[in-house]
Amino acid sequence: MLSPSIEFRGLDELIGNWEKRPDLMIKAIDFVTKRNAEEIRKKAKERAPVLTHALQRSIDKEQIAKMLWAVFSDVPYARIRNYINNLHPETIGYLTKSLFEQREQLERDIREAVRELKKL
């Protein structure tokens, strides 16, 4: 199963040090990560190689833990097609490109969510 992920360091410390409504912050960041995982899923589906549409249909997201979402495909050849595709080389990196393109937006969204929560 191909499931790239993004790791955030320091969130536990931020939550521990922040005295105002940590549960609300967790919910807000969870919502932001879910929304960004959906964008990654959508972009990966658009970029995925299309022969039988099986790979496109198999790309999905699921929550692994609070604030942690995975975008994945359970098709056995999903990982191979992400890295190798001699027939359609323009589709190489359909999932990893989508992930890396979304990283900056995810970081901005998290900063914005934390900024908004500080106003409470």
Burial of 84 (0-12, 13-18, 19+ CB in 10 A): exposed
Residue 97: name the closest of 4, 8, 33 by CA: 4
How far, in whole angstroms, is CA 104 from its chain's centroid?
11
* Cut 0.85: pTM above it: no
79: number of Cβ within 10 Å: 14
What distance in Å separates the CA atoms of residue 9 and residue 102, rounded to the nearest whole number?
18
pLDDT greater than 70 at residue 18? no
**pLDDT tens track for 101-112:** 999 999 999 999
Share of the chain above pLDDT 90, in %: 67
**pLDDT tens track for 34-81:** 999 999 999 999 999 998 999 999 999 999 999 999 999 999 999 999
Which pLDDT score, from 0 to 100, does residue 117 have?
Answer: 81
The pair of three-digit structure tokens given for residue 57, joined into one six-digit string: 């249909």
